[in-house]
Amino acid sequence: MSARILDGEAFAARIHGETSARVSRCKKRGVVPGLVFIRVGEDPASRAYVSRKEKRAQEVGIASRTLVLPESTPLNTLLKEIDALNTDPKVHGILIQSPLPAALPNDVVYARVSPAKDVDGFHPVNFGKLLLGDASGFLPCTPAGILEILRLGEIPTAGQHAVIVGRGQIVGRPLALLLARKSPGADCTVTLAHSRTANLAALTRQADILVGALGRPLFLKQEHVKPGATVVDVGVNRVNDPSNPRGYRLVGDVDFDSVKAVAGAITPNPGGVGPMTISLLLSNTVRAAEDLHP
């Protein structure tokens, strides 16, 4: 048996089509959805991520640009830039690319973005709304993208046991809340595992839906997976590879080759969660514009 591939690129293309149509409707009303990326420093991976997201934004008709600041930017300067974007009527979404330089406190910076423009869903107000089940907030893009993969991949969720490995703030924790919601496309029984979880493999083998969000290269192997389970690979890990011109390659948290032989469905990596994260970011941006100009 070989698992069905949950093709994130194909799903993302469907969402981009819908987003593009929503952008056209906004433009007919004289509103051009605008998205600004803030990149602090010259981390090569961040540069690549931001330029990919900016390109996709432009493809769906969103006016997007990147504000690049030097690594040494003082906190006050960055906060002033965010304040200016918060009050700029042409800007509907603001994304601060992580990681920030160590000298800049993440919580202070992310909390400065207006919750109405926080299309990444990281602001405490939006996190709080997620916890309360208040749909007026923005959902964090990666967990929301995973729910869309399950929906478009026609994976049943109600009553299913979802095991998420990794309780990080960006993926594992919000995903646990989303999958446990009393709602179509959710209603899972959720287990949130982490580095202190005992007998991890015994637990993951009980999963109908298994999500790797721990950031450990190829960590989840065949012995972690129940036959027929749906496996979602979130991880993006850099491993040394002298044969690659860059000297490294990116791999996920799931050992795709061994797991696909037992899983019922699996996301490829790359080409699974990553493209969906971008789709949800663009969809959130258009929603921010729609909310402001109903």
Provide the binding-site residues for ligand NAP, judged by CB under 6 A.
Answer: 142, 165-172, 193-197, 200, 213-216, 234-237, 273-274, 277
Least distance (Å) between residue 170 CB and ligand NAP: 4
Comparing CB distances to ligand NAP, the nearer of 161 and 194 is: 194
The answer to whether the beta carbons of residues 120 and 140 sit under 8 Å apart is yes
Active site residue 129: no
Active site residue 253: no
- Measured from each CB, the residue nearest to ligand NAP is 168
- Spot the catalytic one: 7, 28, 43, 97: 97
Q: For residues 211 and 265, give the distance between their C-alpha atoms in angstroms, rounded to a whole number.
A: 12
The answer to whether the beta carbons of residues 239 and 217 sit under 8 Å apart is yes
Comparing CB distances to ligand NAP, the nearer of 6 and 170 is: 170
Q: For residues 75 and 103, give the distance between their C-alpha atoms in angstroms, rounded to a whole number.
A: 8
Least distance (Å) between residue 78 CB and ligand NAP: 21
Q: For residues 64 and 32, give the distance between their C-alpha atoms in angstroms, rounded to a whole number.
A: 10
Question: Residue type at 175?
Answer: L
- Spot the catalytic one: 118, 120, 208, 255: 120
Question: Residue type at 241?
Answer: D
Least distance (Å) between residue 70 CB and ligand NAP: 24
Comparing CB distances to ligand NAP, the nearer of 31 and 234 is: 234
Active site residue 53: yes
Least distance (Å) between residue 137 CB and ligand NAP: 19
Q: Using only C-alpha atoms, what is the Rg of the chain? A: 19
Q: For residues 166 and 172, give the distance between their C-alpha atoms in angstroms, rounded to a whole number.
A: 5
- Spot the catalytic one: 53, 117, 129, 226: 53
Beta strands (DSSP E) in the chain are 4-5, 34-40, 63-69, 93-96, 161-165, 189-193, 209-212, 230-233, 237-240, 248-251, 265-266
Comparing CB distances to ligand NAP, the nearer of 101 and 215 is: 215
Q: Would you please indicate which residues are annotated as catalytic (active-site) residues?
A: 53, 97, 120
